Amino acid sequence: MRITCGKCQAVYCISERVIGSAGRIVKCAKCTHTWMVTTPSTSFAAHKTHYDYKVNLPVLFKPALPHYFKIIPITLALIIIFVGLIFFSEKLINLQPAKIIYEKCGIYSTKGLLLNDFVIDTHENEIAVNGFITNSSDEDKIVPDIRYILLNNNKEVIFRYTKPSSKEAIKANQTLPISAKITNVKAKAEYLQLDIGNKLELLLR
Protein backbone atom coordinates (compact mmCIF):
# COMPACT_ATOMS: atom_id res chain seq x y z
CA MET A 1 0.00 0.00 0.00
CA ARG A 2 0.96 3.60 -0.48
CA ILE A 3 1.41 6.00 2.41
CA THR A 4 2.22 9.69 2.42
CA CYS A 5 4.09 11.63 5.08
CA GLY A 6 1.71 14.25 6.44
CA LYS A 7 4.57 16.68 7.00
CA CYS A 8 6.84 16.56 3.95
CA GLN A 9 4.53 14.65 1.56
CA ALA A 10 7.16 11.93 0.89
CA VAL A 11 5.48 8.85 -0.50
CA TYR A 12 6.35 5.33 0.60
CA CYS A 13 5.15 1.89 -0.30
CA ILE A 14 4.82 -0.73 2.35
CA SER A 15 3.31 -4.21 2.61
CA GLU A 16 -0.02 -4.42 4.36
CA ARG A 17 1.25 -7.52 6.11
CA VAL A 18 3.97 -5.43 7.79
CA ILE A 19 1.42 -2.88 8.98
CA GLY A 20 -0.87 -5.62 10.31
CA SER A 21 -4.54 -5.31 11.20
CA ALA A 22 -3.80 -3.33 14.39
CA GLY A 23 -1.78 -0.69 12.55
CA ARG A 24 1.76 0.42 13.20
CA ILE A 25 3.78 3.53 13.95
CA VAL A 26 6.11 4.53 11.08
CA LYS A 27 8.79 7.18 10.80
CA CYS A 28 9.48 9.24 7.72
CA ALA A 29 13.06 8.60 6.57
CA LYS A 30 13.20 12.09 5.09
CA CYS A 31 11.87 14.38 7.84
CA THR A 32 11.62 11.94 10.81
CA HIS A 33 7.93 12.70 11.30
CA THR A 34 6.19 9.70 12.92
CA TRP A 35 2.58 8.69 12.54
CA MET A 36 0.22 5.76 12.89
CA VAL A 37 -0.58 3.80 9.74
CA THR A 38 -3.63 1.58 9.46
CA THR A 39 -4.52 -0.69 6.57
CA PRO A 40 -7.32 0.59 4.33
CA SER A 41 -10.52 -1.35 3.99
CA THR A 42 -10.26 -1.10 0.21
CA SER A 43 -8.63 -3.79 -1.90
CA PHE A 44 -4.87 -3.97 -1.78
CA ALA A 45 -4.66 -5.00 -5.45
CA ALA A 46 -6.42 -1.87 -6.69
CA HIS A 47 -3.52 0.35 -5.60
CA LYS A 48 -0.71 -1.96 -6.60
CA THR A 49 0.27 -0.10 -9.75
CA HIS A 50 0.70 3.23 -8.00
CA TYR A 51 3.70 2.25 -5.87
CA ASP A 52 6.60 4.62 -6.01
CA TYR A 53 9.64 2.36 -5.64
CA LYS A 54 12.16 5.21 -5.89
CA VAL A 55 11.57 6.28 -2.28
CA ASN A 56 13.13 4.35 0.57
CA LEU A 57 10.92 2.45 2.97
CA PRO A 58 10.29 4.27 6.21
CA VAL A 59 11.92 3.05 9.38
CA LEU A 60 9.46 0.85 11.21
CA PHE A 61 8.85 0.85 14.90
CA LYS A 62 7.23 -1.85 16.95
CA PRO A 63 4.48 -0.32 19.07
CA ALA A 64 6.56 0.61 22.12
CA LEU A 65 5.39 0.28 25.72
CA PRO A 66 5.47 3.48 27.74
CA HIS A 67 8.65 3.90 29.80
CA TYR A 68 7.05 3.24 33.16
CA PHE A 69 6.05 -0.25 32.05
CA LYS A 70 9.76 -1.11 32.06
CA ILE A 71 10.62 0.74 35.28
CA ILE A 72 7.80 -0.71 37.42
CA PRO A 73 8.92 -4.39 37.29
CA ILE A 74 12.57 -3.44 37.94
CA THR A 75 11.61 -1.23 40.89
CA LEU A 76 9.31 -3.93 42.29
CA ALA A 77 12.03 -6.56 41.95
CA LEU A 78 14.53 -4.33 43.79
CA ILE A 79 12.02 -3.66 46.58
CA ILE A 80 11.31 -7.38 46.93
CA ILE A 81 15.04 -8.19 47.08
CA PHE A 82 15.64 -5.40 49.64
CA VAL A 83 12.71 -6.44 51.87
CA GLY A 84 13.77 -10.08 51.51
CA LEU A 85 17.31 -9.26 52.60
CA ILE A 86 15.95 -7.52 55.71
CA PHE A 87 13.30 -10.03 56.75
CA PHE A 88 15.20 -13.21 55.93
CA SER A 89 18.53 -11.90 57.17
CA GLU A 90 18.78 -14.58 59.89
CA LYS A 91 18.57 -17.32 57.27
CA LEU A 92 20.57 -15.60 54.54
CA ILE A 93 23.34 -14.26 56.74
CA ASN A 94 25.38 -17.46 56.58
CA LEU A 95 24.95 -17.95 52.84
CA GLN A 96 27.21 -16.58 50.14
CA PRO A 97 27.01 -14.17 48.42
CA ALA A 98 24.50 -12.58 50.80
CA LYS A 99 26.97 -12.98 53.69
CA ILE A 100 29.50 -10.64 52.02
CA ILE A 101 26.83 -8.00 51.40
CA TYR A 102 25.62 -8.19 55.02
CA GLU A 103 29.12 -8.00 56.45
CA LYS A 104 29.92 -4.95 54.31
CA CYS A 105 26.91 -3.28 55.97
CA GLY A 106 28.04 -4.31 59.48
CA ILE A 107 25.51 -7.12 59.75
CA TYR A 108 26.96 -10.26 61.31
CA SER A 109 25.20 -13.34 62.57
CA THR A 110 24.43 -12.96 66.28
CA LYS A 111 22.60 -16.25 66.74
CA GLY A 112 23.60 -17.85 70.03
CA LEU A 113 25.04 -14.68 71.60
CA LEU A 114 23.68 -13.99 75.09
CA LEU A 115 24.09 -11.32 77.75
CA ASN A 116 25.06 -12.71 81.16
CA ASP A 117 25.47 -11.50 84.72
CA PHE A 118 25.19 -7.80 84.05
CA VAL A 119 25.80 -5.62 87.09
CA ILE A 120 25.00 -1.91 87.18
CA ASP A 121 26.65 0.42 89.69
CA THR A 122 25.48 3.99 90.01
CA HIS A 123 27.73 6.64 91.56
CA GLU A 124 26.16 10.10 91.42
CA ASN A 125 26.10 10.95 87.71
CA GLU A 126 28.18 7.98 86.59
CA ILE A 127 26.89 4.53 85.71
CA ALA A 128 29.21 1.52 85.41
CA VAL A 129 27.99 -1.54 83.54
CA ASN A 130 29.81 -4.86 83.78
CA GLY A 131 28.86 -8.24 82.41
CA PHE A 132 29.56 -10.90 79.85
CA ILE A 133 28.60 -11.86 76.33
CA THR A 134 28.50 -15.63 75.87
CA ASN A 135 28.73 -17.32 72.51
CA SER A 136 26.57 -20.42 72.97
CA SER A 137 26.83 -21.43 69.31
CA ASP A 138 29.24 -23.89 67.71
CA GLU A 139 30.94 -21.28 65.55
CA ASP A 140 32.99 -18.14 66.13
CA LYS A 141 30.96 -14.93 66.17
CA ILE A 142 31.83 -11.28 65.79
CA VAL A 143 31.36 -9.14 68.91
CA PRO A 144 27.93 -7.54 68.40
CA ASP A 145 26.95 -3.89 68.67
CA ILE A 146 25.90 -3.10 72.25
CA ARG A 147 23.13 -0.59 72.86
CA TYR A 148 22.69 1.16 76.19
CA ILE A 149 19.46 3.03 76.84
CA LEU A 150 18.84 4.83 80.12
CA LEU A 151 15.27 5.58 81.18
CA ASN A 152 13.93 7.84 83.88
CA ASN A 153 11.18 7.07 86.36
CA ASN A 154 8.52 7.67 83.69
CA LYS A 155 10.32 5.26 81.34
CA GLU A 156 11.33 8.12 79.07
CA VAL A 157 14.65 7.74 77.26
CA ILE A 158 17.25 10.08 78.74
CA PHE A 159 20.35 8.53 77.21
CA ARG A 160 21.05 6.29 74.27
CA TYR A 161 24.36 4.99 73.04
CA THR A 162 25.33 2.14 70.76
CA LYS A 163 28.86 0.87 71.02
CA PRO A 164 29.75 -0.42 67.55
CA SER A 165 31.17 -3.89 67.11
CA SER A 166 34.91 -4.15 67.74
CA LYS A 167 34.95 -6.75 64.92
CA GLU A 168 36.76 -9.11 67.31
CA ALA A 169 35.67 -12.72 67.37
CA ILE A 170 34.12 -14.56 70.29
CA LYS A 171 35.07 -18.18 69.91
CA ALA A 172 32.47 -20.92 70.11
CA ASN A 173 31.29 -21.61 73.67
CA GLN A 174 33.39 -18.78 75.08
CA THR A 175 32.58 -15.75 77.18
CA LEU A 176 33.78 -12.20 76.72
CA PRO A 177 33.72 -9.64 79.55
CA ILE A 178 32.02 -6.35 78.73
CA SER A 179 32.28 -3.11 80.64
CA ALA A 180 31.05 0.38 79.99
CA LYS A 181 30.99 3.64 81.87
CA ILE A 182 28.27 6.17 81.19
CA THR A 183 29.23 9.54 82.61
CA ASN A 184 27.52 12.93 82.91
CA VAL A 185 24.06 11.43 83.21
CA LYS A 186 21.98 14.59 83.58
CA ALA A 187 18.58 13.27 84.64
CA LYS A 188 18.04 10.58 87.25
CA ALA A 189 18.31 7.21 85.56
CA GLU A 190 16.05 4.50 86.94
CA TYR A 191 16.27 1.83 84.29
CA LEU A 192 18.93 0.53 81.93
CA GLN A 193 18.00 -1.28 78.73
CA LEU A 194 20.82 -3.36 77.32
CA ASP A 195 20.62 -4.87 73.91
CA ILE A 196 23.05 -6.66 71.65
CA GLY A 197 22.72 -7.41 67.97
CA ASN A 198 23.87 -6.47 64.52
CA LYS A 199 23.04 -3.07 62.97
CA LEU A 200 19.88 -4.42 61.36
CA GLU A 201 18.57 -6.18 64.46
CA LEU A 202 19.07 -3.11 66.63
CA LEU A 203 17.39 -0.95 64.01
CA LEU A 204 14.31 -3.17 63.85
CA ARG A 205 13.94 -3.63 67.63
Q: Which of residues 105-144 bind Zn ion (CB under 5 A)?
A: none
Integer Rg of the chain from CA: 35
Residue span binding Zn ion (CB under 5 A) among the ranges 28-36, 58-66, 73-81, 128-136: 28-36
Number of residues binding to Zn ion, judged by CB under 5 A: 8
Q: For the CB of residue 103, give the shortest distance to Zn ion in the complex, in Å.
A: 59
Binding to Zn ion by residue 27, rule CB under 5 A?
no
Distances 99 to 52, 107, 167, 201 between C-alpha atoms, Å: 65, 9, 15, 15
Query: How many other C-beta atoms are found inside a 10 Å radius of the C-beta of residue 130?
Result: 14
Binding to Zn ion by residue 7, rule CB under 5 A?
yes
The single residue among 14, 19, 26, 28 that binds Zn ion, judged by CB under 5 A, is 28
Q: Under DSSP, is residue 56 helix (H, G, I), strand (E, B) or coil? A: coil
Q: Of the two residues 33 and 99, which places its CB atom closer to Zn ion in the complex? A: 33
Q: Under DSSP, is residue 145 helix (H, G, I), strand (E, B) or coil? A: strand
Q: Of the two residues 5 and 200, which places its CB atom closer to Zn ion in the complex? A: 5
Binding to Zn ion by residue 71, rule CB under 5 A?
no
Binding to Zn ion by residue 47, rule CB under 5 A?
no
What residues have CB less than 8 Å from 201, skipping those under 6 apart? 110
Ramachandran category for residue 60: left, alpha or beta (phi over 0 → left; psi -120 to 50 → alpha)? beta
- In angstroms, the CA 199 to CA 205 distance is 10
The single residue among 24, 27, 33, 99 that binds Zn ion, judged by CB under 5 A, is 33
- In angstroms, the CA 156 to CA 174 distance is 35
Binding to Zn ion by residue 37, rule CB under 5 A?
no
Q: For the CB of residue 46, give the shortest distance to Zn ion in the complex, in Å.
A: 25
Residue span binding Zn ion (CB under 5 A) among the ranges 2-10, 69-77, 105-113, 194-202: 2-10
Binding to Zn ion by residue 11, rule CB under 5 A?
no
Residue span binding Zn ion (CB under 5 A) among the ranges 30-38, 83-91, 116-124, 178-186: 30-38
The single residue among 11, 31, 57, 76 that binds Zn ion, judged by CB under 5 A, is 31
What residues have CB less than 8 Å from 99, skipping those under 6 apart? 92, 93
Distances 151 to 155, 157, 186 between C-alpha atoms, Å: 5, 5, 11
Residue ranges that bind Zn ion, judged by CB under 5 A = 5, 7-8, 10, 28, 30-31, 33
